[in-house]
């Protein structure tokens, strides 16, 4: 039996493990204090709690990242972990169980590690098999530009960035007495929404000489790498924002055709690690599998992605090899000598002398 959901999970596992990430497993429960001290990092401040038999207040986990950071030991150098867990979050009038897959890279994170995580986020989106997009921005550059602003003004500017509300952003800057030249640069940055390979020139024109040169160059280099590696998929969009008390650098969101909201979110959260007394850099993301479920259900109109037909003279090893090749492309595969009656497939392949050939 071919299971599209199982195929997705296996494909994600291959994406993570191929890059050297290890599986992280955690209990359903965590001490409530961990979440109470970091409520604003959670998507909802409501947490399901209960008292354990020893009197400790426990919570059904609403997040995985906090647990990974809490258990990180600085002596570990660079920790690369992936997970597939269910979390429990408030939704409407109650709570619901949400399935997530994701990864965290914490410790001696360098610029290669950042690029690797971004590429793994892109590859994770691509495993679903739909048109997808990864939007990135950089809170560090934005903070450089807002240097000298009070916390309240910063948070209001970020809110207008996130809502792409240029008109109200302009009014806020004028009423706050921000000089015209600085206000213009902030507004121009808020308008950036372009393919990654076009971003470096725009960013250098707007930010050159006004932000950390090293930070700007590193982000531009990252944009060039992503634009080359994933042409047309990565966009730089400064409406992608997050809480400055936790996030410190690149932040990103992923979208899939057919889902009206982001199905992936992540970023560099050095500030969160510092809050948990971990002197380390950190970056990671979560893929919300519950939002992708409707796409997986839609796929069930097919029994499998691919049917591989073979003749009786083919050796088992040859058939196995071609099945493996198709599975490595993210396809679920069924094999048969003849087309089974009543079953549906996206594609049909025939095993020839030179390998599997798609039947038109």
**Terminal C-alpha separation, the chain:** 24
- Average pLDDT of the segment spanning 271-284: 91
Write down all domains in the chain, each with its CATH number in brackets.
1-129+257-301 (3.30.930.10), 132-248 (3.30.930.10), 302-358 (3.40.50)
Q: Please state the pTM of the whole predicted model.
A: 0.79
* Angle, CA of 161, 152 and 212, to the nearest 5°: 60
* Angle, CA of 106, 231 and 236, to the nearest 5°: 60
- The answer to whether residue 294 scores a pLDDT higher than 70 is no
Q: Tell me which range, 77-81, 93-97, 134-138, is most confidently predicted by mean pLDDT.
A: 134-138
Answer with the residue of higher pLDDT: 90 or 52.
52
pLDDT digits (tens, 9 = 90+) for 30-56: 888 888 888 778 877 788 888 988 888
The answer for residues whose C-beta is within 8 angstroms of residue 222's C-beta and 6 or more apart is 111, 114, 115, 118, 136, 250
- Average pLDDT of the segment spanning 54-79: 86
Long-range contacts of range 197-206, CB-CB < 8 Å, 24 or more positions apart? 197/223, 197/224, 197/227, 197/228, 197/231, 198/227, 199/223, 199/227, 199/236, 200/224, 203/141, 203/236
Strand partners, 180: none
In whole angstroms, give the CA distance from residue 240 to residue 128. Answer: 22
- Average pLDDT of the segment spanning 285-292: 90
């Amino acid at each position: 039996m071919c299971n599209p959901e199982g195929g997705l999970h296996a494909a994600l596992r291959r994406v993570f493990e191929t890059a050297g990430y290890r599986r992280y497993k955690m209990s359903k429960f965590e001490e409530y204090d961990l979440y109470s001290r970091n409520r604003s990092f959670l998507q909802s401040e409501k947490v399901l709690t209960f008292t354990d038999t020893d009197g400790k207040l426990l919570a059904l986990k609403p997040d995985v990242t906090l647990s990974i950071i809490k258990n990180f030991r600085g002596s570990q150098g660079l920790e690369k972990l992936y997970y597939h867990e269910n979390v429990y979050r408030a939704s409407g009038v109650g709570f619901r169980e949400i399935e997530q897959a994701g990864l965290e890279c914490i410790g001696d994170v360098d610029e290669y590690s950042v690029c690797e995580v971004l590429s793994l986020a892109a590859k994770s989106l691509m495993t679903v098999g739909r048109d997808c997009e990864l939007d990135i921005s950089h809170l560090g550059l934005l903070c450089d530009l807002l240097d000298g602003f009070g916390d309240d003004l910063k948070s209001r500017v970020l809110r207008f960035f996130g809502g792409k509300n240029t008109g109200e952003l302009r009014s806020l800057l004028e009423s706050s007495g921000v000089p015209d030249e600085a206000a213009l640069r902030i507004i121009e940055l808020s308008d950036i929404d372009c393919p990654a390979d076009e971003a470096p020139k725009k960013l250098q024109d707007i930010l050159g000489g006004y932000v950390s040169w090293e930070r700007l160059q590193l982000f531009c280099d990252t944009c060039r790498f992503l634009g080359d590696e994933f042409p047309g998929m990565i966009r730089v969009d400064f409406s992608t924002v997050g809480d400055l008390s936790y996030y410190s650098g690149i932040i990103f969101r992923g979208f899939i055709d057919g889902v009206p909201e982001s199905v992936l979110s992540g970023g560099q959260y050095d500030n969160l690690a510092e809050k948990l007394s971990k002197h380390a850099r950190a970056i990671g993301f979560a893929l919300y599998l519950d939002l992708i479920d409707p796409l997986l259900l839609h796929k069930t109109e097919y029994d499998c992605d691919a049917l591989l037909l073979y003749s009786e003279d083919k050796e088992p090893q040859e058939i196995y090899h071609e099945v493996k090749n198709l599975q490595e492309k993210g396809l679920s595969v069924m094999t048969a000598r003849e087309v089974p009656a009543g079953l549906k497939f996206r594609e049909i392949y025939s095993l020839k002398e030179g390998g599997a050939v798609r039947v038109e």
